[in-house]
Structure 1
């Protein structure tokens, strides 16, 4: 009979972090990871373009939680116990130094996710964590049907190869519909999963043939909604990306899914009102009357984007500022501050497979990430209904939950 003190289902970031910390704190316990793949830590491997975006340089809990569309309120307490500084310290004590990039993202100084993977595998080995690969879980049962649990174990975990028994069970399977179904069978409510980090597919003459162009300071809102974000915007081969879009996709995950990813966005490329922009354009018309509109880029916009917006305003390449009529000035002000684009679908953001959805947050005790329904059942990482914007925040949720489980188990 394969009996362990603690079993962790899921050999990803949260699973390994939980197993290592549990085994380190409680060396007398037998700890095992069940991973359905032939190797674990696959999301760690591809994160950050293969560099592993470990966390984000945000050191104030109230500021850190603002990056979580779902989980902001619930994670505040946990972040007071284990957050960014603790993560940095944890890795440095194990020989992995992290660096901060200009945008706040943090990576190992080696710029290789393999550094993190090697750290986890070595720590797991050192602390005698058993890792079972190719163990896809088919069923999770309470050991006794009436829930009294008179046995020396509390859970039966059935896999393709047999049954494992354990006293305490940690679920760290990420966004796994099969595991969510098993948890539903145990009585847990599961918030439906929808994509949470994605780029917008847009076909429009104003962005055609200018992929790679970045407008640094834009405001974006979804027409007919309260959804709004600001930041850099990247024009891609298929539409738009970068933080301004990704934040919108995260905070609007559920609403945009309901719209079947077909909606309009309004973009203010210069963060000025229409009226202020129009007055600015009128002043330019007076001051540089003989210059051509097309050639003289304004508002620190990328030249290629300026050209597109000028053309969309009905202004040809030879028109001088002095020759602009009232309608053309208003058209240009509108393109700069109220440009509407039709979104028709989404694309995955690089390798970031992030979803909203998971175990209902009301059914989790966030002091120790234990189920409120079943004693000795714990959750870590994206298996719960927590997700974040891009930048290392999803990993930080995984580290925090896993650590607090280890501390309190």
Structure 2
């Protein structure tokens, strides 16, 4: 009798499980359920529509350090399917990936549709049956290790194997149907978001980017260094997004109201910057400060920081008043910004939280509590920072689940 796998979720992890299971087990009927009318929607928008497929990590340990939650879990999982396997898998299907200077990997076409088309072709070739607008209401174990999937609408379905790849949820209540299987759920919290600083004059500089700044959350150990982008609502860019991922739970506890301290010149701290300004007063004395930008900051930002420090437009370095110098040091090395709220980063929302990892075997992605129940992707309490890490977890967990199901047949 033909056996059936039902995959719940039509995102990257669900699709990768479905197409690999169907390819590895031609005798297996694979049915993929998606609650919306769209497949692979996050793949579509990732990387500004280019799809940041993975990250060119030198080794597993390096890769694992980029997951605020689930480091030990992914370290074990990556031993079964890692970045070179992802590259080879897509290459074997005519999709070549390229590596950018920061390690992010994209299809050479710079178009996410390339990845989507590849996965859809694979599903078609291996006869994966896709059902859209199918929201799951409950999972019920049947005798002999089989499962019944009750839908919000329509007749229930039965399966020999289940893979839940339903993504993250913003509200804990959305996990109820999974909690009913006996699994503990870690409460969700947003990850990867930008900082809102409403009403601050800095937002007038929207579009200005600083290649290397340091952002700290006052009163915590949270800090990150990297590119920072000023937006019309506040701060964004890789340093801020990484900070939001590492601080997801802590910042949620602060209700997204905290002071961000920005060092625009992280090669200096307060005292060394004070010394550098003193030196500039002697070496550049006759030059106007507004025209001389000694720290290679974007010119608009440099002039804004001078204005905020009370430096007049005609001021020469030699004539810098002590009070203005003190303020300039503070604004350059530790500008205080009152953050009040967050904004989801484009459509690339990620949540931390989900199925607690002690209940899942990282070598098989199978539940330790309920046999023949597998998990893949963001529905688990694993999340990476921005840069291709979340997709690598999706490919890895999807492939492992498929491979484990094959070994059970």
Question: CA offset at residue 245 of structure 1?
Answer: 0.5
Question: CA offset at residue 327 of structure 1?
Answer: 2.5
Question: CA offset at residue 212 of structure 1?
Answer: 1.0
Q: What is the aligned partner in structure 1 of residue 40 from structure 2?
A: 41
If the length of structure 1 is used for normalisation, what is the TM-score? 0.95
Which residues in structure 2 correspond to 1:240-319 (within 5 Å)? 240-271=235-266, 272-319=268-315
Which residues in structure 2 correspond to 1:248-397 (within 5 Å)? 248-271=243-266, 272-397=268-393
If the length of structure 2 is used for normalisation, what is the TM-score? 0.95
SS at match of 1:24: helix
Structure 1 residue 234 corresponds to structure 2 residue 229: yes
Q: What is the aligned partner in structure 2 of residue 120 from structure 1?
A: 119
Alignment gaps of 5+ in structure 1? 144-148
SS at match of 1:115: helix
Question: Structure 1 residues 179, 208: CA separation in 2 closer, same or farther (over 3 Å shift)?
Answer: closer
Pick from 178, 182, 191 the counterpart of residue 196 of structure 1.
191
SS at match of 1:182: helix
Pick from 216, 222, 231 the counterpart of residue 217 of structure 2.
222
1:82–1:403 Cα contact (<8 Å) kept? yes
Question: CA offset at residue 196 of structure 1?
Answer: 0.2
Deviations along 1:73-94, one digit per CA (max 9) or x if unpaired, are: 2111111221111101000101
Question: CA offset at residue 323 of structure 1?
Answer: 1.1
Question: Structure 1 residues 231, 134: CA separation in 2 closer, same or farther (over 3 Å shift)?
Answer: same
Distance 1:208 1:109 in 2: 35
Which residues in structure 2 correspond to 1:96-245 (within 5 Å)? 96-143=95-142, 149-150=143-144, 154-159=146-151, 160-176=153-169, 180-203=175-198, 205-245=200-240
2:3–2:27 Cα contact (<8 Å) kept? no
1:206–1:309 Cα contact (<8 Å) kept? no
Q: What is the aligned partner in structure 1 of residue 85 from structure 2?
A: 86
2:242–2:385 Cα contact (<8 Å) kept? yes
Count of matched residue positions in the alignment of Structure 1 and Structure 2: 401
Distance 1:4 1:113 in 2: 33
Structure 1 residue 401 corresponds to structure 2 residue 397: yes
Deviations along 1:264-315, one digit per CA (max 9) or x if unpaired, are: 0111111111110011100000011111112211211111111111111121
Deviations along 1:196-217, one digit per CA (max 9) or x if unpaired, are: 0111111355513211111111
Alignment gaps of 5+ in structure 2? none
1:59–1:84 Cα contact (<8 Å) kept? no
Deviations along 1:80-131, one digit per CA (max 9) or x if unpaired, are: 2211111010001011111222222211122222211111111111112111
